[in-house]
Structure 1
C-alpha cells in the first residue's frame, strides 16, 4: 500500500483519550481526522465516509461485536485498546473480532507497529528470511481442501455420518450438551443447515419445520430447531414449551458479547424430544431488533457444532432495501432470514395448496432465486379437493409444472383432525398421530432430505416426551 499517512478516527473513553490522541498525532503512519466523544458520534462519522482506521477502547459504552462488525463492513480497520492490566477488556475486544489489541498506555512505536499490520505495511524492509518464506509459499502447491478440514468430520456430501453421535443424557430435562459427531482429533463435526422458508400467508412453514426436525431427530442423530421468524415466531407455542426466556434473543446477546459457544448454546436450547433441541423465538414481534443479522450468523455457525442437523424456521420477508429509507446503517428485520438462506445447505420451500397459496408460491420462488441458490425442495401443504377440485394432487402438480416449471413437488395432505389435535396437545405428529397421512408425508420428506440418516420410528411407536415447565 502507499506510504502516505492514513486518516484515523478515535472513540476512546476520556481517561485515556487525551494521551492516546497526543501520541497518535505524532505518527507518520496515520493522522487523526476526528476524535469522537461517544459511539453515536463515531458511527455518524463513519457513515460520512471519514477514516481508514479507528481506535476504540474496550470500555466505550455500547461497543460490542455488532459495532465492530459494522465498522469492518464500512471498510475500516479496528485497533482496540484497553486499560493497562485489564485482561478482561483485552479478551472482550478479541471476542468481538478485534485482531490488534494493545494496552491504552502503549507507546507510539508499539501503536505504529500495530497500525502498520492493520494497514498491510511492514515495520521495516523485508528481511532475507521473510523473502525466502514468501518465495517458498508462492512455489508450494495449494493444499488439498480435504486436508484443511478435520479428518472424518464430514462424509462425501458434507453431512455427518449417521450413527457417529453418541447418546449422552442422564434423563428428562438433562441440560448437558449432547456430543455431535467428533473425529479422532477431537474437532467437532459440522452439521447441515436446512432452512424452511415460504411466502406470506400461513403456508405451513412452522408445521413443516417442527415436524421435519422431529422426524430427523433420534438419540443418535441430534437436531437443533431454531425459530428465527422475526414477524410471528410460534415454535414454542406449537411444542408447548412454556419457558418464558426467548432462547434466540439470549443467544444473539451472547453472540454480540462474544461469549456464545457450543456449551452456552446447549444451555439455551432445551431438549424436548430425544435428540431434538429447540431454540425458541422472539416472544413479541416488536423485539426483532434484538436479533441482528451478524449475531444470527454466529448462532448458525455454532449450531453446526452442536447438532448434526440444524432446522431453521424463518420469516417470509426477503427484501434487502431497509438502508434506502435511512441516512445511517439500518438494522434489517429480514436479516436473520437472509443470513440463514446465505449459509443453507438445503432449503425447504413451503406453500399452501389453494389458488392464492399457489400463486404466492410461484412468485416467491422467483424472489428466492435472487438471494439463494442452494438445493431446494418444494412442499405444498394442506392439499385438499375442496380448494382446488377433484384429484387435488394432480391439479397442484400440473399448476406448478405449468407456471413454475416444477416437476418434483412434495405434497402434504390436509389431515386437519391430526394437525389440530397435535397443536392442541402441544405435540408433533410423530407423537400424536403417527399413522396420519400428513405425518407419513413429512416422514418421507425427512428421509428424502437426510437420505434416511434421521430417526426411524415405526408408525404407532411414540418416543418418550420430555416436558418443560414454565420458569414463572
Structure 2
C-alpha cells in the first residue's frame, strides 16, 4: 500500500522527533514530505502539491484560522495532533475548526498507530471545517440581519442604524456591525470619534481562534444599554485585514449572542474569484457576500428615484441567489415626488411588481431635515426626530423585524 504523503507542523509537541523517526521507517503508513517550522513554511510546502494532508500541532507558530482556510484552498486536508492530556492544545485546534487526535507520546508505536488510524478515517480528515465535531458550545441564541443596498448611496447605513436602534427600543439586545469595506460611516453617524476599529479587532480574535461572544461584546462600543456598535475600518485600504475565514467566525459568534445582530453589509455583490487567478488573495467583497450568506434575514434598500430603482432591480437577482430562499424585505428609501411626479409610490410599486416580483415593500418618506439633524448631532432618529414620518415607518418595520428575528 502506498504511504500517504503528509506535511508535519508540530514543533513543540512532546516526542515529536521520535514520532518523525518512527514515521520514516520502511513500511510506515505515511511519508513525511516536510517538517514545517511555522505556518508560512507549511503554506509554502502545501503549494507544492506534494502532500494531501497537513498534520499540525497547537504550538505551530503563526497558526491561524486563515492558515486552515488556505490549506483547504490548496486541497490539503488538515488533522490536528495534541499530546494526551493537553486539553488547552486540543481546545486551541478545535477553535480553529481543526479535527484533533490525541497521541500518547510516551509510547511512540501506539502514537503512530493512532495517527495512522485517524488519517485513514475519511470522517476525520475528509470533511470541511464547518462540519467538524466540536465540544459542546452555546447554541445559537440570536439572529443575524444583513442590510444591503446597491451602489449609489440609497441610504443603507441610515436605514441600518435606525432599524438597529428601534429594535433595541423594543427591549431586544442589539449589535450593529459596520461591514462596509468601501467607506463605512456608522461611527460618523453615531458620533463615535475614536479611531478604534471594532471589526478588525474582532477578526483578529477570530483568526487566532479566540473570538467568543464576550470578546465580540468587548470589541463593540455601547450606544445605549441595549445597543452596541462594532465600528468599521477607518480607511478603505484596510479591507484586506478582514479575511473570509475570520468573517465567517465573526458571523457565527454574533448569532450565538442573545438578541439581534444588524450588519451594514456594503453594496458590492461581485465575486472577486471571477477575475482573480489566485483565490487565496483576500477578497474585498467577501465581507458583503459572507454577511448576506450568513444572515437569517436580509433587508434590501433601494433609493426612491428612477436611477435608484434601476440599480436595485438589476442587482436584486444576485441578492436572491446569495439569500438562497431566506426572507428578503425591500425598503424603498427617500420616497419623494420630485424625480417621479405625482403618485411616486404607485409608480415605484408598479415597477417593483412588474420587474422584480416585489409586492410588499416598505416605503420610507424622504425627510432630509431629520436625517441632517441626526448626522449633525451624531444621534439616531428616535433621539432627535421622534415625530419624523421616516422614523414612524422605520420604527414600525423594526418591530416587525424583531418579531421575525425572534422566530427565525
Once the two structures are superposed, the pairs formed by residues 68-467 of structure 1 within 5 Å of their partners are 68-72=68-72, 74-81=74-81, 89=89, 91-100=91-100, 107-120=108-121, 190-218=141-169, 220-322=171-273, 324-327=275-278, 329-373=280-324, 374-451=326-403
- TM-score, structure 2 length as denominator? 0.85
Displacement, 1:12? 4.8
**5+ residue gaps, structure 2:** 124-136
Contact 1:414 1:438 in 2 (8 A): yes
Displacement, 1:120? 0.6
Displacement, 1:21? 3.5
Contact 2:272 2:284 in 1 (8 A): no
Q: Residues 65 and 323 of structure 1: is their aligned pair in 2 closer, same or farther, counting only changes over 3 Å?
A: farther
Q: Which residue in 2 is equivalent to 1:7? A: 5
Displacement, 1:207? 0.6
Q: Which residue in 1 is equivalent to 2:66? A: 66
Equivalent-residue separation in structure 2 for 1:326 and 1:38 (angstroms)? 26
Q: Residues 41 and 362 of structure 1: is their aligned pair in 2 closer, same or farther, counting only changes over 3 Å?
A: same
Q: Which one has the largest radius of gyration?
A: 1
Equivalent-residue separation in structure 2 for 1:383 and 1:333 (angstroms)? 31
Q: Residues 55 and 73 of structure 1: is their aligned pair in 2 closer, same or farther, counting only changes over 3 Å?
A: same
Contact 1:322 1:331 in 2 (8 A): no
Equivalent-residue separation in structure 1 for 2:151 and 2:97 (angstroms)? 36
Contact 1:198 1:349 in 2 (8 A): yes
Equivalent-residue separation in structure 1 for 2:47 and 2:305 (angstroms)? 47
Equivalent-residue separation in structure 1 for 2:297 and 2:288 (angstroms)? 14
Query: How many residues were matched structurally?
Result: 389
Contact 1:85 1:103 in 2 (8 A): no
- RMSD after superposition: 2.9
Equivalent-residue separation in structure 2 for 1:236 and 1:353 (angstroms)? 25
